[in-house]
Amino acid sequence: MSFVVDASVIFAWQFPDEESEIVDHVADMLIDQAAWVPAHWHAEIANGFAIAVRRKRLTRDYRQGALKRISDLPIRTDPESTAALWNETQLLCDEYQLSAYDAAYLELARRRRIPLATLDKAMNRAAGALGISLITKQSS
């Protein structure tokens, strides 16, 4: 089974001051399952780490190690997510008051009919309303 993973899960997995049972579960899932991400995901991850270094949450060396660990994950970039930004993603933004970045994860999970892993409360609520399954610490 594949699933969609958002940046919040990756940051919580790699930032030493954040912990979550869901994140641990997703890390275990990534051992033998691929995750899908929208096209903007790589820039979102890079930006989050740049900000973390700037705010002295992480060192540059730690960031480089984290980015290496992330690059080794079975992550697939969805080729259709960019085109979806102009229509379906915008509708989700309007309906659930989400950024286009967040709505892109929901659009991807809904289109591919796969679960979503996120720590974002607004995305969790929207996923529930849309009938999108969520990865939880109990899910498999």
Residue 125's CATH number: 3.40.50.1010
Residue 95, CA distances (Å) to 71, 110, 114, 120, 140 in order: 33, 15, 21, 17, 29
Classify residue 58 by its DSSP letter.
S
In whole angstroms, what separates CA 124 from the centre of its chain? 12
Q: Please write the tens of the pLDDT for every residue from 90-103.
A: 999 999 999 999 99
86 within a domain of the structure (yes/no): yes
pLDDT digits (tens, 9 = 90+) for 6-26: 999 999 999 878 778 889 899
Domain count, the chain: 1
Residue 77 is assigned to a structural domain of this protein = yes
- The DSSP call for residue 106 is H
pLDDT of residue 16: 78
- Say what the pLDDT of residue 77 is: 98
- Asked if pLDDT for residue 140 goes beyond 60, the answer is no
* Dihedral, 47, 63, 67, 34 alpha carbons, nearest 10: -80
What are 32-59's pLDDT values in tens digits? 999 999 999 999 999 999 999 999 999 9
Residue 48 belongs to a domain? yes
**Residue 119: CB partners within 8 Å, gap ≥ 6?**
6, 8, 9, 12, 20, 22, 23
Per the structure, the complete domain to which residue 89 belongs is given by: 3-130
pTM of full prediction above 0.85? yes
